[in-house]
C-alpha cells in the first residue's frame, strides 16, 4: 500500500499519513483533500512511504487529488527553508503556496488574457449604449487600449457586467497579437549601465538599484525583463501595494506588448488568482506581477526577480507565517541561480549595509530620468511660530492658494486618518481610551463616533466627560478629515478630495480618485501614506507634509529610517514633468538630521549615520534578533509564560552565542482585549540565532497552555 505523507495547514509540526487508493497518482507536491478528525482539509504531499507507523485500521485514504500542477520540487524546498528560518510549521507555509481551491475558484481561462475592442466594438458600440456608466466605461477601455485581468480586478460589479456582456457579444476580443509597437524609452547613461549589469549577471547575483525618485527604475526593470522574456524566461516582479499593480501592469503592456503578464495578489477573486497561478505554473505567463504572496508563485522558467520599493514594510507578513518577501526572494534567487534586483530610492538599512559591504552589487541612478525635471525644493515651516488655522500655517496656506491659482496641483499629507487622534476633557484631563486596547480613540466626526484603529471598537461621541461631567470636550490633533474640512474653509474655490482607508474601502475607489486627479478634476488631494507610493502626476507641484514629528518620536527603533523613507517618497512626488516642484514640511524640529537630509535629497549620509548608530546600539542590521510575543486575557498568564520562556531559553542556550533579554510589555501593552508581552533574543551572527531557535521553540511548545497565544517573529519589523 502506498502511503503519502501530507503537510496540513495547522500549527502542529508533524506530517500526516494517508493511503493512496489504487490507480490514483499523487506525486510529491500534489495538492490533496483529506480528512483530519471531523475536518476536511487541503494539504500538500511532501513524501511517500511503503508503510506507516500508524495502525493500518486507523489510516484514512486520500479523498481527492486537485487537478492542478503539483508544487514543483524547488517550491517544496523553498517552503522547507521558510519553515525552518521563520520557525513556522511546514503545513502553514505550504498553505501560502496553494492557490484558492473549490468550485468557486474554478479557473476561468478566458480571464487570463488581455482583451481589447474590435474595430466595430470601438466605433459602433457607443451608439447602442444607454447608461452613462456604460459610456464612461467604453471610453475608459478605449483609452487604456487593452484590459488585462489586473485592470479588470479594479472594476466594480456593474462594470464587470458590461464587460462580460461585451466579451460575449464579441465587441471585445483577445488582444494577443500586439498591434502597437512597444513604447521605446530611451535610457540615460546611468540607466543603461544598470541594465548592462543586470543583463551580464551570471547565476545568483543580488543587486541594489538605488535610484532617486523619478530616476526611472521601472524603465530599467522592464528593459531587463524584456530581454529575459525574449530568451524564454519568466520574470517575477514584486511590488508593495495592490493599488500599484494596475499602474505597473499598464507600463508592462506598453513596453512589452507581446508578453503575457498576470498578477497575483490577495485582492483578486479566487478564480482570477487561480487562473494566474496556473498561468505561472505552466510557464505561459512570462511576467508575474504581484504583492508579497507572489514570491511563492511556481515559475518553471524563472530568470529574473525584481523587488520594487524593497524597503517597504508591507513585504513583511505580520501574522501567521511571519516571512519577509524580499528576503525570501533573495533565497529563491540563490536557489534558482538567477539575478535579484532590489530597487528603492530609500533602501532598507539591511540592503544598504550589504551593498556597502560588497555582498550586493550597487547600481546607482543619481539623476532624474527626465532631464527637464529637478528634485523639488524643500522648505521648513516652524510649527512653533506664526499664526495657524486648524493646524495649517499661513505660509502653507499661501503656497497652496498660489499653487491652485497657477492651475497646478497639490498633495497634503498627514499620516493619520479620521478627524482627530484624540478626544480630551480640558477640565480634568480625561481622554477617550479604547476599552480593549492601550491606545486613544480617534474622533470620526462625520459618523459622530470614536473609533479604535487597532481593534475596530466604535462608540458614539460622548456629550460630556464621563469623569467630571464637563461638556466642553475637544478633539485634539489632526487627521485627514479635519484637514480636508480646514482646507475647504480656507480655500473655498479649490476642489479637494481625500484618500485614506476610510474613503477607498470600495473596490476601484482609489483608481477613481487617481483618475480624477490625473484628469485635473481635483486641485488638492489630502491623504495618508497611501498617496506616497509610486504614483506620478504631471501637474503636481506642491507637497505639504504635516504631523511627521509624531512618527519620528515613536519608540520603534526604525522610526527615523521609516519617516525619512516616507518623506523622500512624498517629497519626490512633486515636480515630475518640467514644472518646478516644492515641498513644505511643517515641524517643531526643523533641524532634525532626518529632515535636513530629506531636504538635501541625501539618502547616503543619513543612512550611513543611522548604520553607525545601529552598530553602537547593537541593533539590526548590526545584530540579528527574534522576538517572542505572547498574549492572554490575563496579564499574570502572559508574565508567567514569558518568565518560564526565559528560564527555558537560559537552559537550551547551551553553547549558542545568543543574548537573552528580560520580558517586557509590548509597545501596545493591550490590544483587542489581550494583554501583550514580549521578549527578545539577539545574536551577533545569524547562524547562532538559527541554531538556538528550534530547540527553544520545541521547549516552548511543551510548556504553553491554551490560555496564552504566542509566536516567534524572526527579523521582526519592530519591537
Stretch that binds Zn ion, among 23-31, 177-185, 468-476, 652-660 (CB under 5 A): 468-476
Closest CB to Zn ion among 199 and 464? 464
CA dihedral (676, 680, 686, 689) positive or negative: negative
- Buried/exposed 606-617: b ≥16 CB within 10 Å, e otherwise: bbeebbeebeee
Residue 436 DSSP code: S
Measured from the CB of residue 504, what is the shortest distance to Zn ion in angstroms? 22
Closest CB to Zn ion among 284 and 501? 501
Measured from the CB of residue 424, what is the shortest distance to Zn ion in angstroms? 9
DSSP character string of 489-555 = HHSTTS-EEEESTTTS-STTHHHHHHHHHHTTS-SEEEE-GGGGSS---TTEEEEEEESHHHHHTSS
Measured from the CB of residue 432, what is the shortest distance to Zn ion in angstroms? 11
Query: Is residue 436 a contact point for Zn ion (CB under 5 A)?
Result: yes
Closest CB to Zn ion among 183 and 470? 470
E strands of 76-139, at which residues? 115-117
Residue found by looking up cell 532626518 in the block = 594
CA dihedral (121, 124, 128, 130) positive or negative: positive
Closest CB to Zn ion among 437 and 513? 437
Measured from the CB of residue 552, what is the shortest distance to Zn ion in angstroms? 24
Task: Rule CB under 5 A: choose which of 8, 434, 566, 648 binds Zn ion.
Answer: 434
Separation CA 527–CA 567 (nearest Å) = 14
Q: Are 276 and 150 in contact (CB under 8 A)?
A: no
Task: Rule CB under 5 A: choose which of 24, 54, 455, 680 binds Zn ion.
Answer: 455
Per-residue H/E/C for 452-502: CCCCCCEEECCCCCCCCCCCCEEEECCCHHHHHHHHHHHCCCCCEEEECCC
Query: Is residue 532 a contact point for Zn ion (CB under 5 A)?
Result: no
- Buried/exposed 302-338: b ≥16 CB within 10 Å, e otherwise: bbbbbbbbbbbbbbbbeeebbbbbbbbbbbbbeebeb
Task: Rule CB under 5 A: choose which of 60, 428, 521, 667 binds Zn ion.
Answer: 428
What are the counts of helices (DSSP H) followed by strands (DSSP E) for the chain?
22, 33
Query: Is residue 457 a contact point for Zn ion (CB under 5 A)?
Result: yes
Residues near Zn ion (CB under 5 A), total: 15
Measured from the CB of residue 635, what is the shortest distance to Zn ion in angstroms? 17
Residue found by looking up cell 475608459 in the block = 140
Closest CB to Zn ion among 428 and 650? 428
Q: Are 163 and 286 in contact (CB under 8 A)?
A: no
Separation CA 642–CA 627 (nearest Å) = 11
Separation CA 610–CA 350 (nearest Å) = 11
Stretch that binds Zn ion, among 233-241, 271-279, 406-414, 424-432 (CB under 5 A): 424-432
Measured from the CB of residue 667, what is the shortest distance to Zn ion in angstroms? 14
Cell triple for residue 109? 481561462
Stretch that binds Zn ion, among 193-201, 362-370, 425-433, 590-598 (CB under 5 A): 425-433
Stretch that binds Zn ion, among 121-129, 192-200, 427-435, 486-494 (CB under 5 A): 427-435
Task: Rule CB under 5 A: choose which of 7, 88, 465, 486 binds Zn ion.
Answer: 465
Closest CB to Zn ion among 250 and 458? 458
Measured from the CB of residue 669, what is the shortest distance to Zn ion in angstroms? 12
Query: Is residue 459 a contact point for Zn ion (CB under 5 A)?
Result: no
Measured from the CB of residue 459, what is the shortest distance to Zn ion in angstroms? 11
- Omega before residue 357 within 30° of 0, cis: no
Closest CB to Zn ion among 227 and 454? 454
> Interaction with Zn ion in 137-156: which residues (CB under 5 A)?
none
Q: Are 307 and 326 in contact (CB under 8 A)?
A: yes
Which H helix or E strand runs over 162? helix 157-168
Stretch that binds Zn ion, among 45-53, 381-389, 444-452, 518-526 (CB under 5 A): 444-452
Measured from the CB of residue 471, what is the shortest distance to Zn ion in angstroms? 10
Measured from the CB of residue 480, what is the shortest distance to Zn ion in angstroms? 20
Task: Rule CB under 5 A: choose which of 19, 81, 204, 430 binds Zn ion.
Answer: 430
Query: Is residue 425 a contact point for Zn ion (CB under 5 A)?
Result: yes
Task: Rule CB under 5 A: choose which of 14, 139, 470, 684 binds Zn ion.
Answer: 470
Task: Rule CB under 5 A: choose which of 437, 522, 607, 610 binds Zn ion.
Answer: 437
Query: Is residue 652 a contact point for Zn ion (CB under 5 A)?
Result: no
Residue 293 DSSP code: G
Separation CA 421–CA 464 (nearest Å) = 18
Separation CA 120–CA 293 (nearest Å) = 40
Q: Are 422 and 451 in contact (CB under 8 A)?
A: no
Closest CB to Zn ion among 11 and 468? 468
Measured from the CB of residue 469, what is the shortest distance to Zn ion in angstroms? 7
Which H helix or E strand runs over 595? helix 593-599
Closest CB to Zn ion among 102 and 429? 429
Closest CB to Zn ion among 441 and 546? 441
Closest CB to Zn ion among 428 and 636? 428
Task: Rule CB under 5 A: choose which of 80, 260, 427, 623 binds Zn ion.
Answer: 427
Closest CB to Zn ion among 69 and 670? 670
Query: Is residue 335 a contact point for Zn ion (CB under 5 A)?
Result: no
Query: Is residue 468 a contact point for Zn ion (CB under 5 A)?
Result: yes
Rg over CA atoms, the chain: 27
- Residue 698: CB atoms within 10 Å: 12
DSSP character string of 355-402 = HHTTSSEEEEE-S-SSTT--PPEEEEEETTSS-EETTEEHHHHHHHHH
* Residue 381-420 contact track with Zn ion, rule CB under 5 A, x = bound: ----------------------------------------
Closest CB to Zn ion among 36 and 455? 455
Measured from the CB of residue 99, what is the shortest distance to Zn ion in angstroms? 34
Task: Rule CB under 5 A: choose which of 63, 467, 588, 634 binds Zn ion.
Answer: 467
Closest CB to Zn ion among 558 and 671? 671
Query: Is residue 474 a contact point for Zn ion (CB under 5 A)?
Result: no
Q: Which residues in this chain contact Zn ion in the complex, by CB under 5 A?
A: 425, 427-428, 430, 434, 436-437, 452, 454-455, 457, 465, 467-468, 470
Amino acid at each position: 500500500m502506498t502511503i503519502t505523507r501530507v503537510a496540513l495547514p495547522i500549527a502542529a509540526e508533524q506530517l500526516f499519513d494517508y493511503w493512496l487508493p489504487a490507480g490514483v497518482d499523487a506525486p510529491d507536491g500534489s495538492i490533496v483533500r483529506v480528512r483530519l478528525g471531523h475536518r476536511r482539509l487541503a494539504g500538500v504531499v511532501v513524501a511517500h512511504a511503503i508503510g506507516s507507523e500508524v495502525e493500518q485500521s486507523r489510516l484514512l485514504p486520500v479523498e481527492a487529488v486537485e487537478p492542478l500542477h503539483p508544487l514543483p520540487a524547488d517550491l517544496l524546498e523553498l517552503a522547507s527553508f521558510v519553515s525552518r528560518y521563520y520557525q513556522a510549521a511546514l503545513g502553514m507555509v505550504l498553505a501560502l503556496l496553494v492557490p484558492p481551491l473549490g468550485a468557486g475558484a474554478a479557473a476561468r481561462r478566458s480571464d487570463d488574457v488581455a482583451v481589447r475592442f474590435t474595430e466595430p466594438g470601438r466605433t459602433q458600440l457607443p451608439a447602442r449604449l444607454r447608461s452613462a456608466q456604460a459610456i464612461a466605461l467604453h471610453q475608459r477601455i478605449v483609452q487604456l487600449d487593452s484590459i488585462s485581468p489586473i485592470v479588470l480586478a479594479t472594476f466594480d460589479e456593474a462594470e464587470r457586467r458590461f464587460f462580460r456582456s461585451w466579451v460575449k457579444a464579441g465587441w471585445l476580443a483577445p488582444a494577443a497579437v500586439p498591434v502597437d509597437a512597444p513604447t521605446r524609452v530611451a535610457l540615460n547613461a546611468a540607466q543603461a549601465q544598470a541594465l548592462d549589469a543586470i543583463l551580464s549577471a551570471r547565476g545568483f547575483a543580488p543587486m541594489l538599484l538605488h535610484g532617486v525618485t523619478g530616476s526611472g527604475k521601472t524603465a530599467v526593470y522592464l528593459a531587463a525583463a524584456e530581454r529575459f522574456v525574449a530568451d524564454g524566461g519568466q520574470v517575477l516582479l514584486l511590488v508593495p501595494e495592490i493599488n500599484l499593480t494596475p499602474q505597473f501592469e499598464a507600463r508592462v503592456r506598453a513596453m512589452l506588448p507581446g508578453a503575457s503578464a498576470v498578477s497575483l495578489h490577495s485582492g483578486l477573486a479566487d478564480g482570477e488568482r487561480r487562473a494566474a497561478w496556473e498561468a505561472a505554473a505552466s510557464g505561459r505567463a512570462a511576467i508575474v506581477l504581484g504583492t508579497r504572496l507572489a514570491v511563492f508563485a511556481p515559475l518553471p522558467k524563472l530568470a529574473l526577480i525584481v523587488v520594487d520599493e524593497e524597503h517597504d514594510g508591507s513585504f513583511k507578513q505580520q501574522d501567521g507565517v511571519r516571512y519577509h518577501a524580499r528576503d525570501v526572494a533573495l533565497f529563491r534567487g540563490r536557489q534558482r541561480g538567477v539575478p535579484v534586483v532590489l530597487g528603492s530610492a530609500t533602501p532598507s538599512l539591511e540592503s544598504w549595509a550589504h551593498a556597502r559591504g560588497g555582498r550586493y552589487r550597487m547600481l546607482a541612478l543619481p539623476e532624474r530620468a527626465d532631464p527637464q525635471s529637478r528634485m523639488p525644493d524643500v522648505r521648513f515651516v516652524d510649527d512653533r511660530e506664526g499664526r495657524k488655522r486648524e493646524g495649517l500655517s499661513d505660509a502653507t496656506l499661501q503656497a497652496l492658494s498660489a499653487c491652485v491659482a497657477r492651475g497646478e496641483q497639490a498633495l497634503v499629507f498627514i499620516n493619520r486618518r479620521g478627524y482627530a487622534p484624540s478626544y480630551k476633557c480640558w477640565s480634568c484631563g480625561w481622554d477617550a481610551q479604547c476599552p480593549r486596547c492601550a491606545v486613544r480613540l480617534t474622533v470620526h466626526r462625520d459618523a459622530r463616533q470614536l473609533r479604535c484603529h487597532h481593534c475596530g471598537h466604535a462608540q458614539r461621541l460622548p456629550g460630556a466627560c464621563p469623569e467630571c461631567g464637563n461638556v466642553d470636550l475637544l478633539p485634539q490633533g489632526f487627521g485627514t478629515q479635519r484637514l480636508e474640512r480646514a482646507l475647504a474653509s480656507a480655500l473655498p474655490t479649490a476642489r479637494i478630495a481625500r484618500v485614506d482607508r476610510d474613503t477607498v474601502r470600495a473596490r476601484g475607489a482609489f483608481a477613481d480618485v487617481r483618475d480624477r486627479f490625473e484628469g485635473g478634476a481635483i486641485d488638492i488631494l489630502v491623504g495618508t501614506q497611501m498617496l506616497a507610493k509610486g504614483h506620478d502626476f504631471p501637474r503636481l507641484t506642491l507637497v505639504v507634509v504635516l504631523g511627521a514629528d509624531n512618527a519620528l518620536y515613536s519608540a520603534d527603533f526604525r522610526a527615523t529610517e521609516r519617516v525619512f523613507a516616507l518623506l523622500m517618497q512624498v517629497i519626490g512626488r512633486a515636480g515630475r514633468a518640467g514644472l518646478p516642484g516644492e515641498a513644505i514640511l511643517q515641524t517643531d524640529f526643523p533641524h532634525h538630521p532626518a529632515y535636513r537630509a530629506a531636504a538635501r535629497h541625501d539618502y547616503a549620509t543619513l543612512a550611513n549615520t543611522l548604520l553607525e548608530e545601529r552598530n553602537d546600539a547593537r541593533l539590526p542590521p548590526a545584530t540579528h534578533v527574534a522576538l517572542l510575543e505572547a498574549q492572554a486575557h490575563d496579564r499574570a498568564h502572559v508574565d508567567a509564560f514569558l518568565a518560564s520562556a526565559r528560564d527555558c531559553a537560559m537552559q537550551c542556550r547551551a553553547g549558542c552565542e545568543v543574548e537573552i533579554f528580560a520580558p517586557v510589555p509590548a509597545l501596545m501593552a493591550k490590544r483587542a482585549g489581550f494583554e501583550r508581552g514580549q521578549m527578545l533574543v539577539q545574536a551577533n551572527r545569524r547562524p547562532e540565532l538559527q541554531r538556538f531557535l528550534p530547540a527553544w521553540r520545541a521547549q516552548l511548545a511543551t510548556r504553553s497552555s491554551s490560555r496564552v497565544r504566542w509566536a516567534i517573529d524572526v527579523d521582526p519589523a519592530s519591537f
